[in-house]
Amino acid sequence: MQRRGGAVNNTRLYEVLGLTKDASSGQLKKAYFQLAKELHPDKNPNNPEALQKFQEVSHAYEVLSDPEKRNVYDEYGEEGLQGGPSMDASSIFEQMFGGGIFGDFGFGGGGGGGRGGRRGPQRGEDIAFNLGVTLKDLYNGCVKKLKVKKKVICEKCSGKGTKGSAGAKECSGCNGQGIKIIRRQIGPGMVQQMQTHCSDCGGKGEVIDKKDRCNGCNGKKTTDDEKVIEVFVDKGMSEGQRITFSGEGDQAPGITPGDIVVILKLKQDDTIFERSGEDLIMAKKINLLESLIGFEFTINHLDDRVVVIKTKPGEVTTPGQVRVIPNEGMPRHKNPFIKGNLYIKFNIEFPASFSLNPSQIEHLEKALPNRSLIGDLPMEYEEYHAEVFDELKHAKSQRNTRQEAYDDDEGGGRTQTCVHQ
């Protein structure tokens, strides 16, 4: 492996966050959130040094929170992240794919002897958990504790499943294969062949005598364990997003543990907001006077800020109108200082009725656009007052009218018959 300039500095980014190289992903997030909050430009508007440190902290977290970038940095320092000549092609390939660039693909010269010469152990299955979060949690970011149950290697036998020097024996039912081949004749000259797990060893290929079984795991090699994990929910995350804890899945001898995958599920709460991507949407009801001469009201935002919203002088709000408050939506994931918009849809609440004296009507007519008035009328005309249409009342009236007409028809028929007689 070729490096330029001697030893590689692969600790500076950890030092920027105040951590060591063995820091977990949870510790990285916790340190970043704390430092970013202290050094944010909004809190230090006249401190250029704080701005520079804020940028350094953000860069360090961007690199170390990405497993692939972190691996490159740990091996080659920041020069490796820049794609410099410090890494040769075979080293990069080996780091990314776990084998030599020639040995694994049978190009000769490596002694690998063909494709797939260096294969790792079998990987266990992932364990998925749902974690309920509110819109407020996703807006502000939070830390949730989740209790998970998983299997771990038995401490008493270190995963052997047996006491002392005793060992497992090859299953005689399947000759250590873990499977059995069953053949069944289904017709003249026709045989059906099926493969199934060996019932004698449960598909493990080995059996342990009862007297030799470990007292801690009863020969199962693993025990049940409970663990509380801290789940860091970043600002701007979305429902359905996954947070992965690498290698925290079930353990088993000879198996690389899978991951614990936490899936975010949105819980219903009493918030006035709905989310649409990076935007927030809410509905607001105002009265007729507010729609004509302007409104002002406050909302408690998801971070508990009190926000005042009002119209400019002379603006009129119409029914169903949508107004926008820029940069008051959801924070962008991994860049929480950029936010979407807040959209407000207005509904106008009209009065059922009201009365004005002539002076008030005169002032109102001067303030509002002219209404249309009827000119000359003919000598004879009809006048009606338009009533508010009530659909339920109308339907009931229609049913009553039809019933009366039916009753009249029935009664009229009998009367005519009597007169005829």
**Which residue would you say has higher pLDDT here, 398 or 138?**
138
Q: How far apart are CA 94 and CA 250, in angstroms?
A: 27
Nearby residues of 193 by Cβ (< 8 Å), 6 or more positions away: 181, 182, 183
Quick check: 420 pLDDT over 70?
Answer: no
Cα gap 352→266, rounded to integer Å:
40
Query: What's the DSSP call for residue 291?
Result: H
- pLDDT tens by residue, 83-114: 543 343 333 334 333 443 333 333 334 444 44
pLDDT at 406 over 80: no
Backbone torsions φ then ψ of 142, nearest 5 degrees: -160, 170
Average pLDDT over residues 29-44: 80
> What's the sign of the alpha-carbon dihedral 355, 361, 367, 369?
positive
Tell me which long-range contacts 132-137 makes (C-beta under 8 A, separation of at least 24).
Answer: 132/265, 132/266, 132/267, 133/233, 133/237, 133/239, 133/264, 133/265, 133/266, 133/267, 134/266, 134/267, 134/269, 134/271, 135/266, 135/269, 135/271, 135/273, 135/275, 135/302, 136/269, 136/271, 136/302, 137/233
Greatest mean pLDDT range, 53-62, 139-148, 409-418: 139-148
End-to-end CA distance of the chain: give it in Å, rounded.
123
Of 205-209, 301-305, 348-352, the range with the lowest mean pLDDT is 205-209
Alpha carbon 188 to chain centroid, angstroms: 58
Cα distance between residue 262 and residue 233, in whole Å = 10
pLDDT at res. 418:
41
| Cβ count near 165 (within 10 Å) | 7
Check: CB of residue 139 under 8 Å from CB of residue 166. Answer: no
Q: What is the pLDDT of residue 152?
A: 93
Per residue, the 3-state secondary structure of 27-46, as one string, reads HHHHHHHHHHHHHCCCCCCC
Rg (CA), the chain: 38
Cα angle at 105 between 99 and 110, to 5 degrees? 65
Return d(Cα 341, Cα 327) in angstroms, integer. 5
Whether the pLDDT of residue 195 is over 50: the answer is yes
Measured CA distances, 88 to 83, 96, 105, 118 (Å): 10, 13, 18, 20
pLDDT number for residue 412? 52
- Give the confidence band of 417 by pLDDT, cuts at 50, 70, 90: very low
DSSP 8-state symbol, 324: E
Greater pLDDT, 200 or 148: 148
More confident residue, 181 or 220: 220
Residue 260 — pLDDT band, cuts 50, 70, 90? very high
Question: What domains can you pick out in the chain, each with its CATH number?
Answer: 12-87 (1.10.287.110), 127-266 (2.60.260.20), 272-379 (2.60.260.20)
CB count in 10 Å sphere of residue 412: 10
The pLDDT mean for the chain works out to 81
pLDDT value at position 311? 95
Give the lowest-confidence range in 77-91, 133-147, 209-223, 335-349.
Answer: 77-91
**Percent of the chain with pLDDT strictly greater than 70:** 85
Residues in Cβ contact with 54 at an 8 Å cutoff, skipping those fewer than 6 apart: 35, 36, 39, 40, 41, 44
pLDDT-derived band at 384, boundaries 50, 70, 90: confident
- Tokens linked to 253: 């001898």
Q: What is the pLDDT of residues 105-147, one digit of tens each?
A: 333 344 444 444 445 568 888 999 999 999 999 999 999 999 9
3-class SS letters over 354-385: CCCCHHHHHHHHHHCCCCCCCCCCCCCCCCCC
> What integer pLDDT is reported at residue 1 of this predicted model?
41
92 vs 196: which has the higher pLDDT: 196
Percent of the chain with pLDDT over 90: 37
**Average pLDDT for 288-294:** 93
